Amino acid sequence: MYVARGGATGEGSLWRFAIAGGAESLIYRGSIRSKPQKVAGDFYFLSGAIPASQQNFDSVVKVPAAGSAPAPSPAAVGTAICRGDLTADATGLLCAGSGESMTASKLSRWDLTGGGHAVIFELPTSGQVVYIGPTDGTSVYVESGVREGTKTSLLKAPLAGGPATVIACDREEITRRKTTAGSGSNGAYVADLDMVTTPTELVWKETRKVSGQPRTIGIYRTAR
């Protein structure tokens, strides 16, 4: 079992412990600006280091999940940088605004070595922010940021690039994952959508608001 602990400043720590009990093992202590994502034998996350000439971006780093004593320093993942929160799985690294421009309306992908950067999706309206959901190995689920009382669509974008498909329209605020990011010119500006996939469905928690009525929170699902 792995646990990340953090505070409002973006400083945090990553620990490993046996489910059966016993002493914790420190994997990493330092700047953590996104939720650490375990892929194979490493954890990937955004550091607090500002890359050269990239004021509003974070470097992508990794540390071994096995840990060591003393806890290792994070290793930069190639030249990968992100403006939005990072999500990672076996297919690569995904984040909004990962170096191609200052906008967070573009969703970019890097491979796990920090190479092969490509923009795979862009929201049609300038100034919108793309929020990232889970991937299923071939596609990623995304939504644009919405304000209370407004609507947006939940989209399925191919990881290889190409047109996105609307899978649910008239959505409102889908819960975002919390991160340990603090304030400042860099850090995780955009949190990932808190969603899960099943073999056949996409499931999420959503807050909806009708004028003059209290907010309602429900669990929604749709076919993938």
DSSP conformational letter for 81: E
Tell me the pTM: 0.81
Residue 103 confidence (pLDDT):
63
Cα gap 44→91, rounded to integer Å: 13
- The predicted model gives 203-210 an average pLDDT of 85
pLDDT digit string (tens) for 106-163? 888 999 999 998 888 888 776 677 888 888 888 999 888 766 667 888 999 999 888 9
Give the SS3 label for residue 63: strand
Could you give the C-alpha distances from 203 to 67, 86, 178, 208, in angstroms and in order?
Answer: 33, 20, 18, 16
Residue 111 confidence (pLDDT):
93
Q: Which two tokens stand for residue 192?
A: 């990932």
Cα gap 165→110, rounded to integer Å: 22
CB–CB of 221/201 below 8 Å?
A: yes
Residue 105 confidence (pLDDT):
79
Residue 181 confidence (pLDDT):
45
CB–CB of 207/193 below 8 Å?
A: no
- The predicted model gives 60-67 an average pLDDT of 88
Q: Which domain holds residue 218?
A: 2-223
Cα gap 196→91, rounded to integer Å: 17
- Whether 62 has a pLDDT exceeding 90, the answer reads yes
Asked whether the CA dihedral 196, 33, 119, 77 is positive or negative, the reply is negative
Q: For residue 73, what is the domain's CATH number?
A: 2.120.10
Cα gap 130→94, rounded to integer Å: 11
Report the number of distinct structural domains present in the chain. 1
Bridge partners, 140 (sequence order): 135, 157
Q: Which two tokens stand for residue 116?
A: 């092969």
